[in-house]
């Protein structure tokens, strides 16, 4: 089920947005899980263990404003949709840093809000619940594919680098790296760049002649033998995503 997080320090505004979402669900026949937060810290804490597809954020809030909150969310989740709702139009330009889906001025109009949801919902990955099971020392871990930014093969084990900064170390493999992650490579967003690296192309911030620079600071090598293939696949993927926006 698609999950929506709302964050606004004014309870009246929080309740209004929640009511609008419920009205949208009734009118469109959709089913969402809605989680309201009155403080940005509460949302960030929840975000460490929970994945939301849509974030609806106020901007003027205590401790951390909605722009900074959006940047932190975007750092950890390159797939989500962010919608701002605020009384302050002057933050619109600054909000572009988080690549928001829309910037709505309060009081939020029902028609515009519904139009925004109509726009973002088709853009949310249909495989949001696609998972991979990792056998590690602690037992079996189930990991959402959207949380993986890179897989690294080292000493017959796989290190799963997650966008939260966590690393999961698999047990020793009995088969090869590529064979072990064949299912992952069937997903169009993942690409093998090297005999020891597979990365999520949505996490790429910059590409050079020999490396991918990923969100969060990780650098992934690109093998010279397959550089042209990797470059073309990555460019086709990025251009395809932009054409569908």
| Average pLDDT of span 216-232 | 95
Q: What structural domains does the chain harbor?
A: 2-123 (3.40.50.2300), 131-243 (2.40.50.1020)
Distance CA 161, CA 46 (A): 20
User: The pTM is what?
Assistant: 0.59
Amino acid 144: pLDDT: 83
Q: Which of helix, strand or coil describes residue 210?
A: coil
Task: Provide the mean pLDDT of the chain.
Answer: 90
Q: Which tokens hold the place of 222?
A: 């690109």
- Asked whether the predicted pLDDT for residue 172 surpasses 50, the reply is yes
Amino acid 17: pLDDT: 97
pLDDT tens for 31-62 read: 899 999 999 999 988 877 777 899 999 999 98
Amino acid 125: pLDDT: 58
3-state helix, strand, coil in the chain (%, to 5): 40, 30, 30
pLDDT tens for 62-80 read: 888 999 999 988 877 777 8
The answer to whether the CB of 73 falls within 8 A of the CB of 98 is yes
Interacting residues of 104 by C-beta distance below 8 A, sequence separation 6+: 83, 84, 85, 86, 112, 113, 116
pLDDT tens for 155-170 read: 999 999 998 889 999 9
Distance CA 84, CA 53 (A): 14
């Amino acid at each position: 089920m698609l999950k929506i997080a709302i964050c606004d320090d004014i309870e009246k505004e929080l309740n209004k947005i929640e009511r609008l979402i419920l009205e949208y669900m009734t009118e469109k026949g959709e089913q969402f899980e809605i989680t309201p937060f009155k403080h940005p810290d509460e949302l960030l804490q929840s975000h460490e263990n929970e994945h939301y597809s849509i974030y609806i954020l106020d901007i003027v809030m205590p401790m951390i404003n909605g722009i900074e909150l959006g940047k932190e969310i975007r750092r950890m989740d390159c797939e989500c949709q962010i919608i701002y709702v605020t009384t302050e139009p002057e933050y619109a330009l600054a909000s572009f840093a988080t690549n928001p889906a829309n910037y709505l001025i309060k009081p939020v109009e029902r028609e515009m809000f519904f139009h925004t949801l109509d726009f973002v919902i088709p853009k949310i990955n249909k495989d949001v619940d696609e998972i991979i099971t990792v056998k590690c020392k602690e037992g079996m871990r189930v990991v959402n594919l959207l949380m993986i930014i890179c897989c690294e093969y080292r000493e017959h084990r796989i290190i799963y680098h997650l966008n939260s900064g966590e690393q999961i170390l698999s047990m020793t493999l009995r088969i090869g790296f590529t064979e072990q992650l064949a299912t992952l490579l069937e997903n169009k967003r993942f690409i093998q760049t090297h005999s020891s690296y597979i990365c999520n192309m949505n996490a790429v911030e910059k590409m050079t002649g020999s490396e991918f620079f990923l969100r969060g600071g990780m650098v992934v090598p690109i093998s010279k033998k397959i550089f042209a293939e990797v470059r073309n696949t990555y460019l086709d993927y990025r251009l395809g995503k932009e054409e569908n926006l």
